[in-house]
Structure 1
Amino acid sequence: VHCETSEWSPWSPCMKKGKTCGFKRGNEVRVREIVQHPSARGNPCPATTESRKCIVQRKRCQKEGKGKKNREEKRKKSNKDESKETRQESKGRAARRQNREQRENNNKTQPKKRKAPNKEQDLAPADTAH
């Protein structure tokens, strides 16, 4: 029995390193399946894959995180991060407000301290007549 193969599949998109963007030249591939394996004396199977060089329309690759789905995921993440930050900020604000209130209360209960006048100025001799 000789080897039998199916028809060739259509050519794959022109790709390089698994991408269809960001380059000019790539390869496209087509395959076919083995329908009947050959017997010991039958003809061996021909190649089941073919590849050819191709030229792709040059287009820029979409940067990671630019798709609609990724944009929504980033927005959700940033909202979570912001809520954490705002909680921490509000805690910090509350602590600062408490400290300020305590200082104000201390100022109200304690009389204000006056600075003593500079003693060096007072030590000048009072009597300069001879």
Structure 2
Amino acid sequence: MAGAGSAAKSSGPKKARIEIIPLIDVVFFLLATFVLFTLSLNKIESIPINLPKATPPDNSKPPEEPVIIQVSDADSVFWNREPISMSEVTPRLLQYAQTTGPKVLVTGDERAKFGSLVMVLDKVREAQIEQVSIETIYRGTGR
């Protein structure tokens, strides 16, 4: 009986099977071919550009220190530790603005009035000095 059962299984029609692994290989091959083909169709065009070349900084002269304008009470002003009056600030700033690369550091001591400090900043702006810094740390009067 054992022989008859095995003969019955082999005598029937075989069912067709779809193998998925070779199908995946074919699909990836077609995808890679399509990608390479489309990349070869695109012409990459560019415009020639002459880029500027960097030059090393000139270290022969040290950078100039900024002029320090310190405001104190009663409209007293110090120009690089030298006491001057508020009326002298504008002429000095206009003269200093004529130099190359003028830089100004505006500061105040503990007795400075806000209005006086703003007035000095306005005078710096009128002199058209663009490199202006405002110091926010404590500094003693005239230092």
Give the shorter-chain TM-score range.
under 0.3
TM-score w.r.t. the length of structure 1 is 0.27
TM-score w.r.t. the length of structure 2 is 0.25
